């Protein structure tokens, strides 16, 4: 075997902008719009900087119809630069970039191979006149189920790679003579436990929302003549979401919260690289501050201060939101009260029990009117979201039905 170096990337979704902000600051607007493209350009640049043999793209690179001419022009330009550098591109299409979606009138550069959706193809990558690696792949197809046994390399003496998009079960992968499974279809980076083989989802190159926080990038895969593999994660994101949870003392005030948030900001930014950051702070505990925060002005003041102090730096650290986590529970006596608040808290408590089913709120909407568009917004699909909604509903009930004395009692008992 020869020494190899290649980039593994997937899920660029060039058609998908960033979201999750109520408003975009003027000085970051251009960066927010261009982030998927700038991050993709950084991934291709990394391939040239690292002097790799080839790039593997494992699906969902671009929805051509959704992204429009800009995306096509961008990819042709980037692929052409790679061609001039002698770097090949092996691309398996995913759900949004099946081969038949690429415009037939626009030819891909000669260094790009887009795998068929109808059959497994095996290609041999050459370094000069010498075969260096075998790359098998098949683009995604709705009617095809993934079967590891479909990938049977015909060149056992080469380093064998499979490029595949979709969910791959670990059973069966380790039994096939494949050195590296280049997987796609997940936005978070993940290594599958299939020793002695290696399988990775590199994740998307640019987080799009608070749900995709932390660094994102591509993988540099390096092999030696014995087939040993080393993986290096290369961050290429230009904007990075951060969800930071901070626990407060029950009697914490605004100054305490400000101090702890600043400490967290400075800690994160000390190792941030060149990416701009979008911060969402979740404050837990701090019952007294929580009662003040629900009035709005306290949190608004804190957010404004953080944006002014950190949001215009280079790179920027913009505070998207500061939220107080609702308490997990309230004094037991409140649940026994013969009041509207007590009735509400008991109803919420029942829904918080394991196995309880949330009411189908979507059934209350007028499906024939404009409210039909809100269906997805009221559907609760996972247990964590259900518990968070119930805690927030209980806290709102205490605030609206219990009066200020309840909040003071909560603070005193915390």
pLDDT tens digits for range 41-50: 999 999 999 9
Q: Which residues contact 259 (CB under 8 A, 6 or more apart)?
A: none
pTM above 0.85, yes or no: no
- The tokens for 342 are 């007590």
Does the structure show a pLDDT above 70 at 102? yes
The average pLDDT across 57-70 equals: 94
Of 145, 205, 211, the residue nearest 384 (C-alpha) = 211
Confidence bin at 414 (pLDDT 50/70/90): very low
The average pLDDT across 68-93 equals: 97
Does the structure show a pLDDT above 60 at 283? yes
User: Which of the pair, 1 or 162, is modelled with greater confidence?
Assistant: 162
Does the structure show a pLDDT above 60 at 34? yes
- Distance between CA atoms of residues 255 and 278, nearest Å: 22
Structure confidence at residue 297 (pLDDT) = 64
pLDDT per residue over 152-191, tens digit each?
888 888 999 999 999 887 777 888 889 999 999 999 999 9
Does the structure show a pLDDT above 70 at 377? no
What share of the chain has pLDDT > 70, as a percent? 88
How many other CB atoms are found less than 10 A from the CB of residue 24? 14
Q: What does residue 223 show for φ and ψ, rounded to 5 degrees? A: -130, 155
User: Which of the pair, 267 or 399, is modelled with greater confidence?
Assistant: 267
Does the structure show a pLDDT above 50 at 412? no
Long-range pairs for 332-337 at CB < 8 Å and ≥24 separation?
Answer: 334/398, 334/402, 334/406
Structure confidence at residue 233 (pLDDT) = 97
pLDDT per residue over 212-232, tens digit each?
999 999 999 999 988 899 999
The average pLDDT across 56-68 equals: 94
- Written in H, E and C, the secondary structure of the chain is CCCEEEEEECCCCCCCCCCCCCCCCHHHHHHHHHHHHHHHHHHHHHHHHCCCCEEEECCCCCCHHHHCHHHHHHHHHHHHHHHHCCCEEEECCCCCCCHHHCCCCCCCCCCEEECCCCCCEEEEEEECCEEEEEEEECCCCCCCCCCHHHCCCCCCCCEEEEEEECCCCCCCCCCCCCCEEEEECCCCCEEECCCCCEEEECCCCCCCCHHHCCCCEEEEEEECCCCCEEEEEEECCCEEEEEEEEEECCCCCHHHHHHHHHHHHHHHHCCCCCCEEEEEEEEEECHHHHHHHCCCHHHHHHHHHHHHHHCCCCCCEEEEEEEECCCCCCCHHHHCCCCHHHHHHHHHHHHCCCCCCCCCHHHHCCCCCHHHHHHHHHCCCCHHHHHHHHHHHHHHHHHHHHCHHHHHHHHHHC
Confidence bin at 411 (pLDDT 50/70/90): very low
In angstroms, the Cα distances linking 299 to 77, 281, 302, 391, 411 are 46, 11, 5, 19, 18
Structure confidence at residue 175 (pLDDT) = 81
Is the sign of the CA dihedral 326, 331, 333, 336 positive or negative? positive
The alpha carbon torsion through 375, 376, 379, 383 (nearest 10 deg) reads 180
| Domains of the chain with bracketed CATH | 4-235 (3.60.21.10), 239-413 (no CATH)
In angstroms, the Cα distances linking 84 to 15, 41, 165, 273 are 26, 16, 28, 29
- Distance between CA atoms of residues 39 and 73, nearest Å: 16
User: Which of the pair, 378 or 257, is modelled with greater confidence?
Assistant: 257
Does the structure show a pLDDT above 70 at 147? yes
Least confident range from 70-84, 137-151, 300-314, 390-404: namely 390-404
- The tokens for 273 are 């690289």
- Distance between CA atoms of residues 19 and 238, nearest Å: 15
- Distance between CA atoms of residues 52 and 40, nearest Å: 16
- Distance between CA atoms of residues 310 and 5, nearest Å: 39
Does the structure show a pLDDT above 80 at 279? yes
- Distance between CA atoms of residues 89 and 110, nearest Å: 9
Q: What does residue 65 show for φ and ψ, rounded to 5 degrees? A: -65, -40
- Distance between CA atoms of residues 344 and 338, nearest Å: 10
């Amino acid at each position: 075997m020869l020494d190899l170096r290649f980039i593994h990337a997937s899920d660029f979704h060039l058609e998908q902008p960033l979201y999750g902000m109520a408003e975009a600051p003027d000085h970051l607007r251009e960066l927010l719009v261009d982030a998927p493209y700038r991050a993709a350009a950084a991934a291709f640049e990394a391939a040239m900087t690292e002097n790799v043999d080839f790039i593997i793209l494992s699906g969902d690179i671009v929805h051509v119809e959704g992204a429009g001419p800009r995306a096509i022009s961008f990819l042709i330009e980037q692929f052409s630069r790679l061609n001039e550098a002698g770097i090949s591109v092996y691309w398996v299409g995913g759900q949004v970039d099946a081969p038949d979606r690429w415009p037939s009138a626009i030819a891909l550069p000669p260094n790009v191979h887009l795998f068929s959706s109808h059959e497994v193809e095996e290609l041999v990558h050459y370094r000069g006149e010498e075969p260096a690696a075998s790359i098998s792949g098949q683009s995604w197809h709705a009617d095809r189920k993934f079967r590891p046994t479909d990938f049977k390399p015909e060149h056992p003496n080469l380093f064998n790679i499979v490029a595949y998009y979709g969910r791959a079960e670990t059973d069966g992968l380790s039994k096939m003579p494949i050195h590296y499974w280049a997987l796609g279809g997940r936005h978070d980076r993940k290594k599958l436990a299939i020793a002695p083989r290696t399988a990775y989802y590199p994740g998307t190159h640019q987080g799009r929302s608070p749900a995709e926080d932390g660094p994102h990038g591509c993988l540099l895969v390096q092999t030696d003549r014995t087939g040993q593999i080393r993986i290096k994660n290369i961050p290429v994101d230009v904007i990075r979401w951060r969800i930071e949870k901070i626990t407060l003392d029950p009697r914490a005030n605004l100054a305490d919260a400000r101090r702890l948030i600043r400490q967290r900001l400075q800690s994160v930014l000390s190792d941030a690289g060149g990416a701009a950051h979008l911060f969402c702070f979740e404050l837990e505990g701090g019952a007294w501050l929580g009662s003040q925060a629900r009035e709005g002005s306290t949190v608004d003041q804190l957010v404004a201060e953080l944006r002014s102090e950190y949001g215009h730096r280079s790179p920027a650290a913009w505070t998207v939101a500061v939220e107080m986590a609702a308490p997990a529970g309230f004094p037991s006596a409140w649940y026994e009260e013969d009041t509207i608040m007590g009735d509400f808290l008991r109803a919420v408590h029942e829904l918080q029990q394991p196995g309880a089913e949330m009411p189908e709120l979507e059934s209350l909407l007028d499906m024939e009117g404009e409210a039909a568009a809100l269906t997805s917004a009221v559907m609760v699909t996972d247990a964590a979201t259900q518990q968070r909604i119930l805690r927030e509903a209980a806290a709102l009930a205490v605030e609206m039905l219990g009066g200020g004395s309840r909040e003071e009692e909560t603070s005193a008992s915390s």
